[in-house]
Amino acid sequence: MDYLDNGFKVVRVVITGGPCSGKTTAMKRVFEELKDTGYQILIMPETATQLIGGGIAPWTCRNMESYQKWQMIMQMEKEKVYAGAAEEISEVNQKPILIIYDRGMLDNKAYMSQEAFTKNMEALGVDEDESLSWYDIVFHLETAAKGAVEAYTCDNNSARTETAEEAIQLDNRSLMAWKDHPNRVIIDNSTGFEEKMDRLFGGIRDFLQKDEIKAD
């Protein structure tokens, strides 16, 4: 939790996870599910989906490392835009700000080696510990390929091409990428999908409540 220069609070939440984890559905429900929290909600869409949908992809760039360089540049610039706009929006609406990120900077680490990730971060002028501090809490939605494989599909996201086995590997790599964040919540497939969504939004609400108590 942090405060903007104008005195309004800003809370930054990452929703991440493996392919076909429910993230796309969750992002569509954010405004409705959290509209009564008292926060002005901003949603930063997934950078990979935007780039790949626009023709900038691992298979159109030189290689995955080169593609990730462009993705990380765009991710960082988008986050700067949202951080800057948050102050103006909070003043206009007289509310604290809740920014929901559809993946954060550390997600890029799941798609490249540690050496390549560090190289790209150095080119951007930031280090890994600094990037972890950008987000207050991270919710990892487990891929359906773990424990709910019958629900695994690529049909609802044109940027998704992974098999179920590849999805599990990426889910595990994402978990490792965010392992050092001090506030990480893993939402597994131990319940049905709607209950999974309830657990996600309940977790966000709980964090906002605890944050309010701590701030008071």
Three-class secondary structure of residue 34 per DSSP: helix
Q: What is the pTM of this model?
A: 0.90
Please give the tally of structural domains in the chain: 1
As a whole number of angstroms, the distance between CA 61 and CA 67 comes to 6
Three-class secondary structure of residue 102 per DSSP: strand
As a whole number of angstroms, the distance between CA 207 and CA 216 comes to 14
Q: Quick: pLDDT tens for 54-78.
A: 999 999 999 999 999 999 999 999 9
Q: Quick: pLDDT tens for 15-34.
A: 999 988 999 999 999 999 99
Residue-number span of the structural domain to which 81 is assigned:
2-215
CATH of the domain at 174: 3.40.50.300
